[in-house]
Chain A
Amino acid sequence: DAMVIQNPRYQVTQFGKPVTLSCSQTLNHNVMYWYQQKSSQAPKLLFHYYDKDFNNEADTPDNFQSRRPNTSFCFLDIRSPGLGDAAMYLCATSRDGQRDQPQHFGDGTRLSIL
């Protein structure tokens, strides 16, 4: 089945230790998104790639970076995680980012900070 796959499902890191979360997709979609979701909160868009074009949300901290080496893969790098960065991180894709194209989500990576 075509899908969005996030690895790992659970990640534990130490305060200040860089961490990378990965997302892959078999849908061949042009757009990939990264969201942060804290408990009982709405998913918050961090940034998205339209093909290779990177689009950062204005309020996304500089601590968060992303890479998209090819159509299928996208990475979220947190350079110096703080306790406030503990959350579920969701990757999503859409075919071409047009208004009538829904987003398809992976099952997320739950990040804990020690």
Chain B
Amino acid sequence: QKEVEQDPGPLSVPEGAIVSLNCTYSNSAFQYFMWYRQYSRKGPELLMYTYSSGNKEDGRFTAQVDKSSKYISLFIRDSQPSDSATYLCAIGSSTLTFGKGTMLLVSP
């Protein structure tokens, strides 16, 4: 079993939709949780990070962590075409382990 699992997509939604992106992980020692956005031919850009179970909100983005289920989610409200990118979850203790990323396509 891989340490961090993420559906590669692509996930296609219309503009304005609510998007749910998810990752599961296997190592209960993981302590902190991040979401990165990566546009084509660019480096990952940090969106959200947290180290506790529960929800954290920042504008249109909400990160959710359920440590008991080893499951994390990123919700995007009112999705925009500019949100089209690959979203990587990153989970870790001393170093980060990345998921492969989910490609999101938001159509106008």
Taking beta carbons and an 8 Å cutoff, which residues of A are in contact with B? 4, 6, 40-43, 45, 48, 90, 92, 97, 99-100, 102-108, 110
User: How many whole Å from A96's CB to the nearest CB in chain B?
Assistant: 12
A99 to B31, CA, bound (A): 7
Cβ contacts B38-56/A at 8 Å (1 or 0 each): 0001111110010100000
A97 to B4, CA, bound (A): 20
Q: Which residues of A contact B46 (CB under 8 A)?
A: 102-105
Total chain B interface residues with beta-carbon distance under 8 A: 26
With contacts A43-B98, A90-B43, A105-B45 taken as known, whether A99 is within 8 angstroms of B4 at the C-beta atoms is no
Q: Which residues of A contact B93 (CB under 8 A)?
A: 99
A57 to B45, CA, bound (A): 23
Q: Contact check: which of A42, A103, A105, A106 meets B101 at CB < 8 Å? A: A42
Cβ contacts B51-75/A at 8 Å (1 or 0 each): 1000000000000000000000000
A102 to B42, CA, bound (A): 18
Q: Is the CB of A107 within 8 A of B42?
A: yes
Q: Which residues of A contact B45 (CB under 8 A)?
A: 105
Q: Contact check: which of B42, B92, B94, B100 meets A42 at CB < 8 Å? A: B100
